C-alpha cells in the first residue's frame, strides 16, 4: 500500500495467507454504503479488508502526528441492520465461516501519545443532544471472558452467578474499551441510545467469539449525527450519517411514528429516573427536619420515589403497561414510570414497522402515568417546599434547597 503515489510502500497483508492475488476491488458504492478492499486469490477464495476509511485518512493522520495532535477519522456511513445470526440456534463453532465487521458505526481515532486522563467518544444528534457516551473511565471486565477464558473460568468457579458463567466461553465477544495509548484505535457505536442500566444477557442467536450482550436501550433513528472525541483536554468532531436498512420498505409515516414514540418514551424514562434520584436526595435532606410540613413531604417523597418492581429489558408482554401483567404498571412511582416508559419503547424495537395498536396504547398509558407522577413532584418542589421554607425562614433557619444537577 502506498499513500504517496508509490514513493513509499508498506504491507497490508495482516492475516491474509501467502497466496497469489489475481484481482483487487474496492467495494465502495451507494448500494452497500461500505468501503472495503476485496482481494480475489488464485485459489478461488477471497479476502476482505473491512473499512479502508482510515487508510484514506492516512495523510491527515500523519499530519496530526507531526503536530502532536489527535485525529478522529470521518466515519463511513452506518447502516442500521439487524444481523441474522442463525436465531435461535447458536452457530456451531466448528462450522467454517468468515468474520463480519463489528456491528454498528465503526469509529477510528489516533492518539499521538498516551493520555493520562479519560478519553471520551460522544454521539450527538442534529440538535447537539447526547445520544451515547463512551469513556475510557467506564468499568472494564477483568478478566475478560473472551481475552482470558482460563482466568474467567476460575472466576466462574468462585462465583457461578457471574455474567456469562452459564455458557461456553467461546461465545462472548471481547469487551469494547476506549483506548488511551498512543496509536490507532477502533471502536464501534451500536446505534442505540445510552442504556439506562447495565447490559443484558446474550441470546440464543450466538456466533462464536462475536456474541454481544443485549442492550436495554432503543435504536437511534436514521439521520445525521456528530461524533466527538475528547482527549487530553481537546475535542475533535466528525459528521456521521446513519441509514436505515435499504431493504426496509415500510412507509415513511409509519417509520416517523415509530421514531417519535420511541424517542418520547425513552426521553420520559430518563427524566423519570433522574427525577427519582432528585426525589431521594431531597428526602435525605429532609431526614433531620422536624414539623408537620416536613413529615408530609417525606411521606409524599417516599410514595413517588419508591423503587419499582424489575421488568423485562426488552419490554415483553408482562412488562408493557396496560397488558394485564404485574410489571411496571403496578406502581405509580417515578421508578415505576421510568420502567413502564422504557418497556413501552423497547416493545417497539423488534422490527422496522408501524407501532401496533397495543403498543400505542401502552405508550399512552405510560404517558398518563408520567404526567400524574410528575405533577406530584412539581407540587412537592413548588407548593410544599415553598411553605416549608417560609416557615423555616420565619424561625431563622436556612431553607432546604433542591438537589443541584
Long-range pairs, 278-286, Cβ under 8 A, ≥24: 278/402, 278/403, 279/304, 279/305, 279/334, 279/377, 279/380, 280/305, 281/403, 282/380, 282/381, 282/385, 282/400, 282/402, 282/403, 285/400, 285/401, 285/403, 286/400
Q: Is 50 exceeded by the pLDDT of residue 80?
A: yes
User: What are the helix (H) ranges across 306-404?
Assistant: 334-347, 357-379, 385-394
Q: Are residues 276 and 331 in the same domain?
A: yes
Highest mean pLDDT among 28-32, 366-370, 386-390: 366-370
Q: Is 60 exceeded by the pLDDT of residue 310?
A: no
Q: Point out the least confidently predicted range of 12-16, 247-251, 271-275, 301-305.
A: 12-16
Residue 404 lies in a domain: no
Q: Point out the least confidently predicted range of 7-16, 174-183, 196-205, 304-313.
A: 304-313
Residue 89 grid coordinates: 440456534
Mean of pLDDT values over 293-299: 92
pLDDT bracket for residue 84 (50, 70, 90): low
Q: Point out the least confidently predicted range of 87-91, 192-196, 218-222, 376-380.
A: 87-91
**d(Cα 187, Cα 120) in Å, to the nearest integer?**
11
pLDDT value of position 22: 86
Q: Sort strands 71-72 and 78-80 into parallel, antiparallel or unpaired.
A: unpaired
Q: Is 80 exceeded by the pLDDT of residue 169?
A: yes
Q: How many helices (H) and strands (E) does the chain have?
A: 8, 11
**d(Cα 210, Cα 312) in Å, to the nearest integer?**
24
Kindly report the number of other CB atoms within 10 A of residue 371's CB atom: 11
Q: Are residues 265 and 118 in the same domain?
A: no
Q: Any idea what the CATH number is for the domain that residue 199 is in?
A: 2.60.40.1930
pLDDT bracket for residue 359 (50, 70, 90): very high
Across the chain, mean pLDDT equals: 87
**d(Cα 81, Cα 103) in Å, to the nearest integer?**
8
Mean of pLDDT values over 248-262: 95
pLDDT value of position 319: 40
pLDDT bracket for residue 201 (50, 70, 90): low
Tell me if 276 sits within 8 A of 373, measured CB to CB: no
pLDDT bracket for residue 1 (50, 70, 90): confident
**d(Cα 47, Cα 179) in Å, to the nearest integer?**
28
Residue 302, CB-side half-sphere exposure with 13 Å CA sphere? 8
pLDDT bracket for residue 324 (50, 70, 90): very low
**d(Cα 397, Cα 145) in Å, to the nearest integer?**
56
Q: Are residues 85 and 197 in the same domain?
A: yes
**d(Cα 121, Cα 109) in Å, to the nearest integer?**
10
Kindly report the number of other CB atoms within 10 A of residue 301's CB atom: 25
Mean of pLDDT values over 12-29: 85
The torsion angles phi and psi of 367, rounded to 5 degrees, stand at -65, -40
Kindly report the number of other CB atoms within 10 A of residue 149's CB atom: 17
Q: Are residues 186 and 224 in the same domain?
A: yes
Tell me if 120 sits within 8 A of 199, measured CB to CB: no
Residue 159 lies in a domain: no
pLDDT bracket for residue 317 (50, 70, 90): very low
pLDDT value of position 86: 62
Residue 364 lies in a domain: yes
Q: Are residues 83 and 206 in the same domain?
A: yes
- Which domain does 213 fall in, by range? 68-140+175-244
pLDDT bracket for residue 311 (50, 70, 90): very low
pLDDT value of position 132: 97
pLDDT bracket for residue 313 (50, 70, 90): very low
Tell me if 197 sits within 8 A of 177, measured CB to CB: no
pLDDT value of position 105: 95
**d(Cα 74, Cα 380) in Å, to the nearest integer?**
48
Peptide bond before residue 374 is cis, with ω within 30 degrees of 0: no
Peptide bond before residue 143 is cis, with ω within 30 degrees of 0: yes
DSSP string, 25-84: EEE-STTTT--EEEEEETTS-EEEE---HHHHTHHHHHHHHHTT--EEPPPPPEEE----
Mean of pLDDT values over 336-360: 95
Contacts of 83 (CB under 8 A, 6+ apart): 100, 103
Torsion over CA: 51, 77, 188, 32 (sign) = negative
Q: Are residues 233 and 257 in the same domain?
A: no
Residue 145 lies in a domain: no
Q: Are residues 102 and 28 in the same domain?
A: no
Q: Is 50 exceeded by the pLDDT of residue 312?
A: no
Q: Which residue has the higher pLDDT, 259 or 405?
A: 259
Mean of pLDDT values over 99-111: 90
Highest mean pLDDT among 88-97, 304-313, 379-388: 379-388
Closest CA to 264 of 360, 335, 127, 133: 360
| Boundary of a domain, candidates 214, 244, 274 | 244
Q: Is 90 exceeded by the pLDDT of residue 72?
A: yes
Report the C-alpha dihedral over residues 352, 354, 360, 363, rounded to 10 degrees: 30
Q: Are residues 38 and 80 in the same domain?
A: no
Mean of pLDDT values over 274-303: 92
Of the chain, the percentage scoring pLDDT greater than 70 comes to 89
Q: Give the angle 309-312-313 at the CA atoms, nearest 5°.
A: 115
pLDDT digits (tens, 9 = 90+) for 140-166: 889 999 999 999 999 999 999 998 898
Q: Are residues 117 and 208 in the same domain?
A: yes
Residue 405 lies in a domain: no
pLDDT digits (tens, 9 = 90+) for 39-67: 998 777 888 888 899 998 998 999 999 99
pLDDT value of position 314: 39
Residue 301 grid coordinates: 417523597
Predicted TM-score (pTM) of the model is 0.86
pLDDT value of position 381: 93
Domain count, the chain: 3
Amino acid at each position: 500500500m502506498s499513500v504517496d503515489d508509490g514513493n513509499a510502500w508498506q504491507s497490508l497483508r495482516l492475516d491474509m495467507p501467502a497466496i497469489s492475488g489475481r484481482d483487487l476491488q474496492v467495494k465502495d458504492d451507494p448500494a452497500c454504503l461500505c468501503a472495503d478492499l476485496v482481494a480475489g486469490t488464485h485459489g478461488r477464495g477471497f479476502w476482505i479488508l473491512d473499512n479502508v476509511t482510515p487508510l484514506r485518512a492516512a495523510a491527515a493522520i500523519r499530519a496530526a502526528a507531526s503536530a502532536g495532535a489527535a485525529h478522529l477519522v470521518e466515519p463511513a456511513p452506518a447502516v442500521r441492520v439487524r444481523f441474522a445470526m442463525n436465531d435461535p440456534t447458536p452457530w456451531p463453532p466448528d462450522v467454517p465461516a468468515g468474520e463480519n465487521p463489528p456491528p454498528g458505526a465503526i469509529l477510528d481515532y489516533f492518539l499521538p501519545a498516551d493520555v493520562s486522563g479519560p478519553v471520551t467518544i460522544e454521539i450527538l444528534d442534529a440538535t447537539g443532544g447526547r445520544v451515547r457516551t463512551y469513556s475510557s473511565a467506564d468499568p472494564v471486565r477483568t478478566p475478560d471472558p473472551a481475552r482470558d477464558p482460563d482466568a474467567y473460568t476460575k472466576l466462574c468457579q468462585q462465583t457461578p452467578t457471574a455474567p456469562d458463567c452459564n455458557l461456553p466461553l467461546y461465545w462472548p465477544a471481547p469487551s469494547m474499551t476506549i483506548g488511551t495509548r498512543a496509536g490507532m484505535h477502533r471502536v464501534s457505536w451500536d446505534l442505540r441510545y445510552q442504556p439506562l442500566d447495565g447490559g443484558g444477557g446474550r441470546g440464543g442467536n450466538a456466533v462464536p467469539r462475536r456474541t454481544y450482550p443485549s442492550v436495554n436501550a432503543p435504536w437511534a433513528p436514521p439521520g445525521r449525527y456528530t461524533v466527538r472525541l475528547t482527549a487530553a483536554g481537546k475535542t475533535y468532531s466528525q459528521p456521521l450519517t446513519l441509514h436505515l436498512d435499504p431493504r426496509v420498505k415500510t412507509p415513511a409515516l409509519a417509520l416517523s411514528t415509530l421514531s417519535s414514540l420511541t424517542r418520547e418514551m425513552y426521553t420520559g424514562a430518563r427524566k423519570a429516573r433522574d427525577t427519582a434520584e432528585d426525589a431521594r436526595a431531597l428526602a435525605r435532606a429532609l431526614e433531620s427536619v422536624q414539623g408537620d410540613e416536613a413529615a408530609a413531604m417525606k411521606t409524599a417523597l417516599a410514595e413517588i420515589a419508591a423503587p419499582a418492581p424489575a421488568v423485562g429489558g426488552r419490554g415483553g408482554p408482562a412488562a408493557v403497561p396496560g397488558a394485564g401483567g404485574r410489571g411496571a404498571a403496578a406502581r405509580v412511582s417515578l421508578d415505576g414510570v421510568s420502567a413502564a416508559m422504557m418497556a413501552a419503547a423497547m416493545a417497539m424495537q423488534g422490527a422496522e414497522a408501524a407501532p401496533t395498536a397495543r403498543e400505542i396504547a401502552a405508550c399512552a398509558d405510560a404517558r398518563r402515568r408520567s404526567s400524574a407522577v410528575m405533577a406530584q413532584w412539581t407540587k412537592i418542589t413548588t407548593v410544599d417546599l415553598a411553605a416549608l421554607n417560609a416557615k423555616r425562614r420565619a424561625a431563622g433557619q436556612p431553607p432546604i434547597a433542591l438537589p443541584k444537577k
